[in-house]
Amino acid sequence: MPIAVFLLALAAPVFAGLSEGWFGLAPCELCLWQRAPYWLAAGLALPAALLPRARPWLLLGAALAAAASALIGAFHMGVEFKWWPSPLAGCATPQAAIGQTIEELMRSLAPTPTKPCDEPAFLIPGLPLSMAAMNTIYGLALAALALRGRRPA
């Protein structure tokens, strides 16, 4: 079970990164935040396969990390539905103020291209699940799998 958790935890951020090139999906700042906990989950699941005595605790940590990504995804869904604004500055579209010079406008732009967090990215046309929604479901499922793997075989 730990190897499955390890591989599935790695698959999420790798697929998200590849989807940028394959499907032309630009990530926003919250999208990028959702990826980090999966790296932690993978980093905890791999030693769980090698250390049976520590397995329950390592898989608990992996489950919590996957759940953290799901929570960020759920928060991101709220931003997409405009239930609340994102607190991250990188999630907002830069706004030009009246009387602002070109230099001031250029300084207000993010150093790397981003998209606003309230514009959902859809992977499957016609399926009303954004990438944030799919991540929420995936993160919860991975957390459940990791928790199930804590039980002795």
Q: What is the pLDDT along the chain (153 residues), one digit of tens a residue?
A: 899 999 999 999 999 888 888 887 788 888 889 999 999 999 999 999 999 999 999 999 999 999 999 999 999 999 999 999 888 776 765 555 567 676 766 665 555 546 788 888 887 878 888 889 999 999 999 999 999 988 765
CA angle, residues 10, 12, 18, in degrees to nearest 5: 100
Report field, pTM of the whole predicted structure over 0.85: no
Q: What angle do CA 2, 135, 111 make, to 5 degrees?
A: 110
Contact call for residues 30 and 88 (beta carbons, < 8 A): yes
